[in-house]
Amino acid sequence: MLLQSARIYNYRNFTDIEVPFVSFSALVGPNNIGKSSILQALEYIFTTAHPRNVPITKADFHDPSKKIIVEAVLGDLNDDDKDAFFHDDGLVNLAKNTITIRFVSSWSSFDQDVESECYFVRDDLPEDQQRITDFSNRYKPFVPLFVISSERSASQEVGISKRQDLGRILRMYSSDYLKPLPTLHSEIHQTFNEIEDEKDNWDKFPHTIFEQIKPILNEVLSTITPDLAQIIVDKDPNDIDDLLDGLEKEWDSKEAGLQEFIDKNPDVPFRKTILQVLERVPILIKRAKTQNSLYELQRGMLQERKFEEMNLGMKDVFDKLLPKQGMDINLFSVQDDELISQMSVNLDNHSVLNTGSGFQSMFVIGLKLVRMLAQLQASSEQVIRTFIVGVEEPENYLHPHMQRHIVNFFRNLQKLWAERGYHLQIVITTHSPSILNRFGISELVLLKEKKNIVDVSRWHEKSLEELATSLQPDETKRGKLVSQIQLQLDFFLTLYADSFFSSFVIIVEGETEEGAIPEWAKSSKLEFDFDLYGISVIRFQNMRLGSMILKEFKIAHVIVADGGDNHNFTNIPEDLLFLSDKKAFEKTVVDAANAQTLLKALIAKDSIERNQKRAIDIAGKINEFKGVKTLEEILELLNGESISDTSMHIFSKELVKWLAASKGIMLGKLIAQNTTAEEIPPYITNMFSHLNEFFETIKADA
């Protein structure tokens, strides 16, 4: 079973969106667009709380006059899934092999309160028959949803209270260690009495074996009584140890027969209750032995000379000050259940509470996963095979390597639990490119906002074939185009994952342009800060393909390229194309910028030896440069002497060659950092004007 999609209507900033999911999905988008709200909306459906207790307020309604509707579609159902959801109740849409659950909430302006309900729907039936039955706690155990909040602190979870994860885990594995010893004794005694009262009413009850075990059970309960503490105080610890050891051995020898009978007869009456007694009695004995050891330890420490002297000194005063009050010194609690309250978790011999925020964040994620898996294992509902985990911003406080590691961890966990027969579906929210480049492009769900309306887009598997067909309509010539597109997609996600968080993307064809354009934006008359506006510059070998990919994700973009006929921009709107009138970026730059500016960039970037060779070569071609040995000398000549047009023409041609030989992001940055606004190529300036209009329109629509 898989959570296929969620429809969210009139909730917070969502007017009406449909969010698709796969086995491992990443919700991507800018801050405050509602990624966490999607997980919150799903919690409204899958929470074990009654719909009327779901914490919705008037502020959650996008429009309070309309209902909030959250719909979850579960698909890929196998026979076990259908059985779990009581196939006979007509919950399954057989044509689509799906189950749909709807949560609806209304705001009453008269009552100033909300009314909520949650139920199964069948959209394949007539409208008046679509509501089937309530999505009650009868069904909810079959689709557990766990959401791990972005606010993660180990100090809030490492403790044994019922609200803390460590405490919940401990209770799932053995709550009998957290109860006071008298309480455990009383519960076992009560269970034993219930079996004793009812056993004669059942033909298949194992009377013979039970009668054999009853004497030792009575002996255990009569020895380890609620007033065990007083027995221990009054007797020698060694005698108590011997007594408890004897009980333990005798119990082990007798209970094996009953255990074997229960294992072979699953329909035996009181099976679960008997198994509970068989499990709890050894715990009672072990805890009694622990408590005896604690008394013995404290007794021994108090007999040390210094403690005896302190005790006598205090008694000397307090026997006279409070003669009717007996005074004793206790070094520590001798109640064994209080030992567990001191439980701690260490990483490399240091308390997890003393580790950094990143380790604590990862620890809390791990702890919550342990609790989730323990809860599933402890469930009596054996049909639970699918569970959904939502993780908000797993990258919090982690450096890039650990961010990538945690994605790999989730994938490995999915594989591990798949081998055990469970399907773990994971949905994360993220702002991190390091997280994204560990995802396949079809696993991304992108949220964008335009004119205050949030839109959702996702790459579908068929998109690859559609792109290949668009790029090469002739199937006989398509060849390896699909695999080549996949390689380009992988390259895109690896190097430019931050594009998915961008408001606008500029596609370029060369590294030098990639380095120059963000710097030119700062020095332009519009003074664009790309980080402030959320603008990315990406280099794509096939710019038309890059545009198609961004279009698929509804990411606003333009193409900036050299002129000439070596590009295929078929079906790309003209207003997205900003083309130079030159065939090479280096020629465009040489025509637009001051030669001294470009020379400074080369001097800063390239080695002394390389630049000396250039200087000597050009000195042999231009009379004004005769005898020079460095580019610095040429720079001085350009600043001070008049150079003929012929010589400058020759120099410009050489400069184009030098720039082409040194192309790269660093060269682009150096060129742009040294140019003025007037030296920026016109087609780049036009593109900046387009950007300005784009963001002004967004501002006006807000």
Q: Which two tokens stand for residue 50?
A: 């009654």
Q: Do 201 and 283 reside in the same domain of the chain? A: yes
Exposure on the CB side of residue 484, measured as CA atoms within 13 A: 13
Give the domain-ending residue among 282, 312, 340. 340
Q: Do 17 and 133 reside in the same domain of the chain? A: yes
pTM of the model: 0.82
CA distance 437 to 433: 6
CA distance 364 to 371: 10
Q: Do 533 and 682 reside in the same domain of the chain? A: yes
Q: Do 130 and 220 reside in the same domain of the chain? A: no
For 523, other C-beta atoms within 10 Å of its C-beta total: 18
Q: Do 144 and 228 reside in the same domain of the chain? A: no
pLDDT for res 11: 96
Asked whether residue 6 is assigned to any structural domain, the reply reads yes
Asked whether residue 600 is assigned to any structural domain, the reply reads no
Asked whether residue 411 is assigned to any structural domain, the reply reads yes
Asked whether 421 and 178 are in contact (CB, 8 A), the reply is no
pLDDT for res 164: 82
Identify residue 582 by its one-letter amino acid code.
Answer: K
List the beta bridge partners of residue 17: 8
CATH number of residue 521's parent domain = 3.40.50
For 23, other C-beta atoms within 10 Å of its C-beta total: 16
DSSP state of 540: -
For 630, other C-beta atoms within 10 Å of its C-beta total: 15
Burial readout 388-418 (b: 16 or more C-beta within 10 A, e: otherwise) = bbbbbbbbbebeeebbbebbebbeebbeebe
pLDDT for res 380: 54
Asked whether residue 347 is assigned to any structural domain, the reply reads no
pLDDT for res 353: 82
What are the distances in angstroms from CA 353 to CA 151, 156, 358, 363? 15, 10, 12, 10
Q: Do 528 and 568 reside in the same domain of the chain? A: yes
Asked whether residue 313 is assigned to any structural domain, the reply reads no
pLDDT for res 291: 82
Q: Do 437 and 541 reside in the same domain of the chain? A: no
- Report the Cα–Cα distance between both ends of the chain, in Å, rounded: 40
Asked whether 25 and 411 are in contact (CB, 8 A), the reply is no
- Report the domain count for the chain: 3
Q: Please give the sequence-ordered ranges of beta strands (E in DSSP) within 339-385, or none if there are none.
A: 346-347, 350-351
Q: Do 251 and 295 reside in the same domain of the chain? A: yes
pLDDT for res 172: 80
What length is written for the chain?
Answer: 702
pLDDT for res 7: 97
Asked whether residue 161 is assigned to any structural domain, the reply reads no
Q: In sequence order, what DSSP letters do the residues of 595-612 get, joined into one string?
A: HHHHHHHHHHHS-HHHHH
Q: Do 111 and 187 reside in the same domain of the chain? A: no
Q: Do 407 and 436 reside in the same domain of the chain? A: yes
CATH number of residue 125's parent domain = 3.40.50.300
Q: Which two tokens stand for residue 396?
A: 């919090």
CA distance 449 to 454: 4
Residue 690: domain span: 496-589+670-702
Q: Which residues of the chain have pLDDT under 50?
A: none
pLDDT for res 226: 66
Q: Do 274 and 406 reside in the same domain of the chain? A: no
Asked whether residue 28 is assigned to any structural domain, the reply reads yes
Asked whether residue 657 is assigned to any structural domain, the reply reads no
Q: Do 120 and 18 reside in the same domain of the chain? A: yes
Those residues whose C-beta lies under 8 Å from the C-beta of residue 312, and which sit 6 or more positions away, are none
Asked whether 588 and 582 are in contact (CB, 8 A), the reply is yes
Q: What is the 3-state secondary structure (H, E, C) of 16-31?
A: EEEEECCCEEEEECCC
